[in-house]
Amino acid sequence: MNKCFRCATRYPMALDVQLQWRDGDATLKATGITADVSANGLLVMSATSFGKGTRVKCHLALPLEVTTTPSTLVCQGMVVRSSGLEWGSLFAVTIEDYEIQPEDGEPAYTRRSRAAGA
């Protein structure tokens, strides 16, 4: 199956993102800023370096222009490419599944990929 992960429209957005990943038994955390966002993934800048294949969980507040109500995007995916920078890294994360969690108590919207459920 040939999926085009870079075909979705990219939206340049500088959003704060909290990152979590596992290293053995430890859960590690870092922060970053998105460079762009698409339906398929995120391009993130962080002082922490991430290698290709790292599985990450991302939390970011969505702008009101996108959601009309304060909401948080919680997504899980994998780093598919990474470039080392003098101060950290620029890396792309594919979104395998996500949940949009409104802060007003409304039910969350969830999308799970077939790959994540397999």
- Both ends of the chain: CA-CA distance in Å? 15
Q: What is the pLDDT of residues 8-46, one digit of tens each?
A: 788 899 999 999 999 999 999 999 999 999 989 999 999
pLDDT above 90 covers a percentage of the chain that reads 64
Cβ neighbours of residue 10 under 8 Å, at least 6 residues apart?
A: 36, 37, 38, 43
Pairing of strands 88-102, 71-85: antiparallel
3-state secondary structure at position 116: helix
pTM value surpassing 0.95: no
How much is the mean pLDDT over the chain? 88
Give me the domains of the chain, ranges plus CATH numbers: 11-98 (2.40.10.220)
Q: How far is Cα 55 from Cα 41, in angstroms, rounded to an integer?
A: 13
